[in-house]
A and B are shown apart, each in its own frame.
Chain A
């Protein structure tokens, strides 16, 4: 017999979690199915809403949006987006409500909710990035804070060159003095030790030789470089779950505010966020099945179009059905494999919903590496309640909604809007699904 719920959400990333929380908040019984580990674990942990305005024509010919500076107020940029952008489709309040739901779910783990304005956070490559919410562990690093800064990198870590990042920040005109230093991480590790290994050593404050602990020796090695710095940025490896304890200890030892600099994968802030969202889902009474991809579905025709009856997951070769009144598709985009493609066309992977795209594969990308690529906007084309529309402009299924990366119409990387699009579309998809369930 099929397992029944009001709403089944397919996908366990930020959009899926948001949709599930949003539906549960409306009183629906929600079941969330996730194929594999959340792609959040690869993300920096920053929650971008809208960082740059829709780029105008490429006047300088470099294919980039470099002419426009970042938006101080992400909400101010929404009206200028094209009508097909998910923010326009989901409605003006969706982003604001999505951010509120996020704040509620993550609690003290994040900062930035006190203002509508974007913060600027220094990235590992020393660029300033506009973002709406940032982990508390990154708060002292915001770029509009004018306190002098020291960035610290580790000799054997190849992703972060602290001196180069400091030079780039200075060149960008940040309103504070910033310098960089490279030190050896205390203790004996292989040159290619995993960042998670170093995070464990800091979290457990392991013995690092000479009767001193990892944090003690780390502070000792940073101290000679401090100068006038009042805050110290370290790549985001300051412990697993107890980052605040690690940070407080190091801050006290250095007499400076220690903060994390967001990194590429594997990203501890991303892992912490994924873990926190699963706790929130649990608290909200959402039931979950993880590690099982949806491999098929069953539908029936109805008066107002086709309805999805159930989806089937694959567990060790057995196909297990999940029934619901409403379904939310939050399987991600090209990276999360919610979208698939071959030499002929790009497709939506589970329900084969219509994905608008240029006919000729050559037109999927543009010449400049950071130019306006059609593929970056690939995804389903939703109506105002996030139902994917077919080629004919009618909903593909009357009880299917989409959220997050699988929704097209935005180049979230160039706009710096990935998380915001997940929150806004997840909120609307979850809420309208619950209302109809």
Chain B
């Protein structure tokens, strides 16, 4: 099997999806391949901060300026993915006044609106801030949903003719006559939407140009093409709380360090993070001390975090890169800027460009610069429109309509559904069928799930990322099986497919919960274990010989709702027996 496209993008994270959208809207024929779900790599494993630029205002002002500019763009084109929470840089007594002033001046130099709040004023904004803080700087940080953003980019790319293939790892880069001419991918299931159990197979996709947007995995693709791309993956932990202890992004105002940010995200807060270089982006230790450090350090800013319930932790790997020979020792000192590696110029290997480094908030700008580069090479003369054209879901739309009444949903389910769906709410929610809530924690209804299933096939983890179903307190204990039922009834998938998808979702949910197993979340884990093993018996095998078991042979049972062939049915002897 083989196919031909103008540009092949490897990687379904923010950069890859952004490039696919950008090129497709310029009229270029694009195919995007991703080894897992969209956001499978680093994009799906970050803390969801929409930077104001404040974090870089002292150390890296170029990045800070890009951040505030893109922050404004995303609020506009991706309004249904962004929540403008605002952010605070909080100074504790042990943090220096000198750095506080540098931060403030840095923000002002970079055009980041910054306002000094007294401790009292800061606690008016966030009542649970520690009693002994000195003061804070208020900046326009926000929260952004990376899943929703990537899906919207990919959907817009598809609407402009792009082909998106998830669960299709690249197994080879095709090099002919000293030039990259395409890739070989292995489809884990059939082409198109993922369906468990469908035979995949390999496919060669030929392209005029290949964009390696695989982040921390860029070195692997480089190896396949015979070039060195020395990414330095660096891991960081994110710990998810079960509620929003804060409604504002809380940063510690000090030069650098682990455990210095709390980001409110949907129903949760996310604590971050650490920064440790690792060898392999897929195989590194996830350690309890990292989680403990988040709680202990960040409770100095928000004391109630100590002893509060966490529902899981996850780790991501930053795709840090620096040009060969820079030799920075500490990964926290490596630049967050991005690098466009033209392998023709760099390695005498035309046909491929790699993107490394960079950060999520400026993904669109990176995508624009990469797309400009690719369009130059291909001789395409079309302007980038991604800074102005809203993403699907963020078109002009009033969220103030009375959705509760209109769709027969209770509050806050109606409100939350519409916040996630944005301008797609009408098309998704107006089904004319009963629309029960499937995931109570995150207020996800059947209609929204079935829309997500339509978009991502039998992959319940992809459905989860699109809808947030199974991402709340119970971590799927009360809804994972319901989601599987929707695959069967709504998606029309057969039993083995549904069972495989459910097992995969359940195991993925379990992986992150293992880092939160104490207190109430351990109780929750035990409840989930009892519900799924005891009540449903999902783990136990069926017998080979059914006749060895009690067949209800009690003499009274024949009269107990039983209808023997030779008897007049009495329907169960209500008087008892």
Could you list which residues of chain A lie within 8 angstroms of chain B, going by C-beta atoms? 42-44, 48, 51-52, 64-70, 72, 108, 111-112, 114-115, 117-120, 123-125, 127-130, 136, 139-140, 142-146, 155-161, 163-164, 167-168, 171-175, 182, 184, 190-192, 230-231, 244-245, 247-259, 262-265, 333-335, 337, 340-343, 346, 360-362, 364-365, 367-370, 373, 375-376, 412-414, 416, 418
Contact = CB atoms under 8 A, between A and B. Distances in A.
Nearest to B551: A144
21 contacts: A69-B541, A70-B542, A117-B549, A123-B537, A125-B481, A139-B554, A140-B557, A142-B550, A143-B549, A158-B485, A163-B488, A171-B495, A192-B437, A247-B561, A251-B569, A264-B536, A265-B531, A343-B292, A369-B509, A375-B525, A413-B534
B437 to A, nearest CB: 5
B549 A144 contact: yes
B549 A139 contact: no
B551 A145 contact: yes
A231 to B, nearest CB: 8
The 10 A-B residue pairs with the shortest CB-CB distance in the complex, in nearest-first order: A252-B571, A248-B572, A251-B571, A172-B542, A413-B533, A248-B574, A119-B550, A144-B551, A369-B510, A161-B485
Contacts of B26: none
Interface string B391-409: 0000000000000000010
A42 B523 CA distance: 14
B187 to A, nearest CB: 25
B543 interface: yes
B568 to A, nearest CB: 10
Interface centre among B292, B446, B533, B570 (most CB of A within 10 A): B533
Interface string B525-560: 111011111111111111111111111111001001
Contacts of A72: 543, 545, 548-549
A249 B574 CA distance: 8
B62 interface: no
Contacts of B577: 108
B34 interface: no
A140 B561 contact: yes
Contacts of B288: 360-362
Given A167-B495, A368-B507, A120 B534 contact: no
Interface of B: 287-288, 292, 295, 307, 408, 410, 433-438, 446, 478-479, 481-482, 484-486, 488-489, 494-495, 498-499, 506-507, 509-511, 514, 517-519, 522-523, 525-527, 529-554, 557, 560-563, 569-574, 576-577
B549 A118 contact: yes
B573 A161 contact: no
A56 to B, nearest CB: 13
Contacts of B518: 341-343, 346, 361
A157 B482 CA distance: 9
A130 B550 CA distance: 10
Given A72-B549, A139-B561, A230-B563, A127 B536 contact: yes
Nearest to A176: B546
B507 A158 contact: no
Nearest to A259: B561
Contacts of A159: 481-482, 485
Contacts of A249: 571, 574
Interface centre among B481, B511, B546, B563 (most CB of A within 10 A): B546
Contacts of A42: 527
B436 A191 contact: yes
Contacts of B510: 368-369
Given A145-B552, A334-B523, A257 B561 contact: yes
A65 B535 contact: no
A314 B314 CA distance: 40
B491 to A, nearest CB: 11
A111 B535 contact: no
B549 A155 contact: no
B538 A247 contact: no
A254 B563 CA distance: 10
Contacts of B531: 264-265
Interface centre among A65, A118, A139 (most CB of B within 10 A): A139
A114 B558 CA distance: 14
A65 B549 contact: no
Given A66-B539, A112-B554, A337-B523, 10 more contacts: A65-B540, A125-B536, A158-B479, A164-B485, A164-B488, A191-B435, A255-B563, A343-B292, A369-B506, A413-B529
Nearest to A251: B571
Nearest to A118: B549
Interface centre among B433, B526, B540, B551 (most CB of A within 10 A): B540
A375 B522 contact: yes
Contacts of B435: 191
A115 B550 contact: yes
A108 B545 CA distance: 29
B478 A264 contact: yes
Nearest to A51: B540
A145 B537 CA distance: 19
A262 B535 contact: yes
Contact of B543 (A67, A120, A231, A333): A120
B485 A255 contact: no
Given A127-B536, A335-B523, A164 B489 contact: yes
A422 B436 CA distance: 36
A70 B557 contact: no
B552 A142 contact: yes
B530 A191 contact: no
Contacts of B546: 120, 143-144, 173-175
B315 to A, nearest CB: 14
A418 B534 contact: yes
Given A111-B557, A158-B438, A341-B518, A68 B541 contact: yes
Interface centre among A124, A155, A164 (most CB of B within 10 A): A164
A172 to B, nearest CB: 4
Contacts of A68: 541
A190 B486 CA distance: 19
Contacts of A231: 561-563
Contacts of B542: 69-70, 127-128, 172-174
A279 to B, nearest CB: 16
Contacts of A145: 551-552
Interface centre among B292, B537, B541 (most CB of A within 10 A): B537
B570 to A, nearest CB: 7
Given A117-B550, A140-B552, A191 B408 contact: yes
B525 A365 contact: yes
Contacts of B560: 136, 139-140, 257
B574 A244 contact: yes
B540 A70 contact: yes
Nearest to B486: A158
A132 B146 CA distance: 49
A122 to B, nearest CB: 10
A164 B540 CA distance: 18
B561 A416 contact: no
A211 B240 CA distance: 53
Contacts of A129: 537, 540
Contacts of A130: 540, 549
Contact of B495 (A48, A168, A174): A168
A238 B481 CA distance: 23
A175 B495 CA distance: 19
Contacts of A136: 560
A157 B538 CA distance: 20
B27 to A, nearest CB: 44
Contacts of A44: 534-535
A374 to B, nearest CB: 10
Nearest to B550: A119
A251 B131 CA distance: 67
